Structure 1
Amino acid sequence: MITYILLLLILLCIIQFAYTRNLKKQAVEWLEDLKEIRSNPQQKIFTKKSGIFADITFELNSILKENRKQLLLLEKSDIANKQILTNLSHDVRTPLASLIGYLEALDNNSADDTREYIQISYKKALALKSLIDVLFEWCKISSNEQQYQMDYYDINELTREFIIDWLPLLEKKKISFHVNIPDNEWLVLIDKAAYKRIINNLIQNAIYHGECSNIAIHIEKNEDKIITAVFNNGYTIPEDKLPYIFDRLYKCDISRSDTGTGLGLSITKELIAAMKGTISVESAAETGTTFTIIFS
């Protein structure tokens, strides 16, 4: 009996030794794979065997895959932010140089028409402020520092309130403006300042980049969805450009002029997404361009 017990213990020891040796071998192989990953971050860890190391390998590969995605997003974001700064610095130089020139003329009393030079300087200063505001706004949004004051607002009344400010400019530029907004009270959970920025961006985009002669805003309700459509009859956005129109810094030759920052529509989409809404665009020569916003 004792002999059988001893033999059994010896057998168990042999099995334990073999198992431990196998684990050690796997650990050594795993360590070599980890060292390889350090020199080549795209490398995966492979294992032909099952067991605890296979489970660990699977989980680690999942973590590495997610980290690679995050690194790629960070790299793209870094490239985009650098491009934003490059574009804005280029856009700032021209009005800044012009502004300095007019101010120097005023300071040296060499201005032909002092009042005209002051008015031009004021416009250049406003252009600079607009560029800086866009940059600050985008930085806050991209860094998730934008604060939203969400509340229920009557979207019909709010939209009417915001478009009133544009009427003098539209009249000056001889752009016809049509509004189809119901008198009903339709409450939507939104941030008032963000929604104003959205409406302003779409109207401004139509005026300055679409070069349209007609703008229309229509609001309707479909079950639990509030649909706001902003139409303009300006330049048609080519079909192959439509998927990229909301991308950061994207400027197609027709829909966005070289004077823009390429951030307006991107900011618009980010603001709408933050308020749980969606935006889409359709454009055709026969029907014009329509941006459609949907809130639930």
Structure 2
Amino acid sequence: MLGINKSIFRRLVISYMLTVLLGLCVVGLVISFLTKIYIMDSKQKELLREAKRVNLAIQNATVVDDRFKELLVFFDQSYDTRIWIFDLQGKIAATSAKDEVYVGKSVDASIVDKVKKGENIISNMQFAGLKESMLSVVIPWGKDNQVYGGIVLHAPVTGMNETITNLRETILWGTLFGLLLSAIIASYLSRSISQPLQQIERVAATIGMGDYRKRIRIRSKDEIGDLAATINQMVAKLEQIDGEKKKLEQIRHDFLANVSHELRTPLTAMQGFLEALQDGLIDETAKPRYYDIIYNEIMLMNRLVDDMMDLIKLENNDISLSRAPVDVEKVLQQVVFKFESEASEKNTGIELHISDNLPKIYADLSRFEQILNNLIKNAVKFTENGLISIQADEDEQYIHIRIADSGIGISSDDQEMIWERFFKADRGRSRKSMGTGLGLAIVRELVSLHHGKIEVQSELEKGTTFDLWLPSVEMAKKNNY
């Protein structure tokens, strides 16, 4: 972990220092460049304004005399700029400073040509007799459309270069300070990252050994804190899954024992009856009854196997539905008729209430019957001397079917597990009421396959209510089911 910490520290320090260095260098270059442009532009505009004022003062003077020269010296001292006046032949006629350029020297012919056309000129010029480059402006000297020559105002660029140099030195010192500050911040961040990572590593090692009781104690509100909270949630989920796994293992164990019992009972009965038939111990008049019993036991085993195969296919998405509009009222009447005799044997009544003009559902007819068979069969199985109420009505774009019984009910703990395969909520009841624990698991898968939903409400010794919603034909078309 120390190697990791050092690596993180090194990478953070280098990345912060490089980021600060590159950022400040780029910013410094941009600032110095823009500052230079701004200073040059401002100075040029200022020189142009000053040159125009000089022209206003001397535009009526056509002869270079002492008063003319005094005006040039006055403006030189006022503006702190050098002023030259040249005629239309390009020869310098007067200057504000005698030591810079001799009178009679010539300026560049291209400048003279532009002045004759009335154009202003802004450039860095190098004149004979001057030792340094100057920022210069040239404007026509004259009045109205009459041009006598040109006026040159110039200032050395030395001061501007010094300003840019000072600015760059300031940026350099700021860069060095930024590098030092980034190293301090990187060191702090490295510790704030590596220490929580050490704790996460220790807890993860403990979890890897199967101990789910450990939790990461990090209070920070950043990404590492979020990571720690996520890991804690994962550990809690693993602990829950481990507990559920043990519970499911017990359910599977119970299921295997139950299936073995369910298969052994009909097999034992059939074996006894067949042996009696083979040995001729059964009277001819009683044989049909024995054949019926054997047949019923075979059908019981077939149903058990069919339920198991259906569930496996549903969970593996191996079943495809053949959907079509289905009349809910007609199917409910058929299913109720099927279970009426069995319910009456237990002194239980079945009531059917269906809303008028109930829309059709979009479902697989045989699978819809299978759903109803399982739900109503359970209601009949666990209700004696009671009532089973079946209602069907429209609920928005769904058809809502409610199957309520007044039977023995389901405990609140078992209600969470009744949809799991192999689970049986009727432990401790008579063998006559025992099942395989697959019916409701099949119902849930079939309802989901139809894009419906199902809920249960129950209370011990007061009864159970199943609420089933299946999409109507209109909804199925709208959602392309």
TM-score, shorter chain, exceeding 0.5: yes
1:33 to 197, 203, 209: 203
1:264/1:12 CA distance change after superposition, 3 Å: closer
Between 1:170-179 and 1:270-279, the stretch displaced more is 170-179
Counterpart amino acid of residue 371 in structure 2: I
When normalised by structure 1's length, the TM-score is 0.72
Q: Secondary structure at the match of 1:293?
A: strand
Q: Identify the residue that residue 155 of structure 1 maps to in structure 2.
A: 328
- Give, in angstroms, the shift of residue 181 of structure 1: 3.9
- 1:190 counterpart = 2:360: no
Aligned to 1:277: 453
Q: Does structure 1 residue 78 correspond to structure 2 residue 253? A: no
Which one of the candidate residues 233, 249, 264 is aligned to 2:439? 264
Give the 3 Å change call, closer, same or farther, for CA 137–256 of structure 1 in structure 2: farther
| SS of 2:408 mapped into structure 1 | coil
Structure 2 match to 1:109? 280
The 3-state SS of whatever aligns with 1:189 is strand
User: How far, CA to CA, are the matches of 2:293 and 2:442 in structure 1?
Assistant: 29
- Asked if 2 retains the 8 angstrom alpha-carbon contact of 1:177 and 1:214, the reply is yes
* C-alpha distance in structure 2 between counterparts of 1:57 and 1:284, whole Å: 43
3-state DSSP of counterpart to 2:288: helix
Deviation at 1:31, TM superposition (A): 1.7
Range with bigger deviation, 91-100 or 8-17: 8-17
Summarize deviations over 1:72-101 as a string: whole Å, max 9, x none. Answer: 444433332332222221222112111111
User: Structure 1: which amino acid aligns with 2:300?
Assistant: A
Does the alignment pair 1:119 with 2:315? no
Max Rg structure: 2
Structure 1 pair 152–68 and aligned structure 2 pair: CA distance change class (3 A): farther
Q: CA RMSD in A?
A: 4.2
Which amino acid is the alignment partner of residue 198 of structure 1? I
- Kindly provide the CA deviation profile for residues 136-175 of structure 1, in whole angstroms up to 9, marking residues without a partner as x: 344455x454635255433223333444555676789997
Q: TM-score, normalised by structure 2?
A: 0.48
Residues 21 and 102 (structure 1), Cα distance of their counterparts in 2 relative to 1, 3 Å cut: same
Residue 232 of structure 2 corresponds to which residue in structure 1? 61
Match of 1:251 in 2: 426
Q: Kindly indicate whether residue 402 of structure 2 is the aligned counterpart of residue 226 of structure 1.
A: no
CA displacement, residues 228-275 of structure 1 (integer Å, 9 cap, x when unaligned): 34466xx6325x747746723101767995433344345445544554
Alpha carbons 2:382, 2:407 under 8 Å: kept = no
Give the alignment partner of residue 237 of structure 1, picking from 408, 411, 419: 408
Structure 1 residues 5, 94: CA separation in 2 closer, same or farther (over 3 Å shift)?
A: closer
* Offset of residue 195 of structure 1: 1.9
Q: Which of 70, 77, 88 in structure 1 is aligned with 2:259?
A: 88
- Give distance in 2, aligned partners of 1:57 and 1:228: 46
User: Which residue identity does 1:36 align to in structure 2?
Assistant: T
TM superposition shift of 1:284: 10
Higher relative contact order (CA 8 A, sep 6+): 1
List aligned pairs for 1:198-213, cutoff 5 A: 198-211=371-384
Contact 1:209–1:256 (CA<8 Å) still a contact in 2? no
- What's the CA shift for 1:224? 4.4
Alignment partners' CA distance in 1, 2:260 and 2:412: 27
SS at match of 1:31: helix
Percentage of matched positions with identical amino acids = 23
Q: 1:17 to 1:101 in 2, by over 3 A?
A: same
Q: Distance in 2 between matches of 1:257 and 1:93?
A: 15
Any gaps of 5 or more consecutive residues in structure 2? 1-168, 472-481
Counterpart residue number, 1:43: 214
Structure 1 window deviating more from structure 2 (203-212 vs 117-126): it is: 203-212
- Paired residues of 2:212 and 2:238 also in contact (CA < 8 A): no
Per the alignment, in what secondary structure is the counterpart of residue 362 of structure 2? strand
Alignment size in residue pairs: 291
Whole-Å separation in 2 of the counterparts to 1:173 and 1:19: 75
Q: 1:95 corresponds to which letter in structure 2?
A: P
Which secondary structure does the structure 2 equivalent of 1:190 belong to?
strand
Contact 2:212 2:236 survives alignment (8 Å): no
CA contact (8 A) 2:349 2:388 kept: yes
> Structure 1 residues 93, 129: CA separation in 2 closer, same or farther (over 3 Å shift)?
same
Q: Is the 8 A contact 1:269 1:279 kept in 2?
A: no
CA distance in 2, matches of 1:134, 1:266: 10
- Give CA deviations for 1:39-71 in whole Å, capped at 9, x if unaligned: 312322222556553343233334434444444
C-alpha distance in 1 between matches for 2:458 and 2:192: 62
Q: Does the Cα contact within 8 Å between 1:236 and 1:255 map onto a contact in 2?
A: no
Letter in 2 for 1:264: G
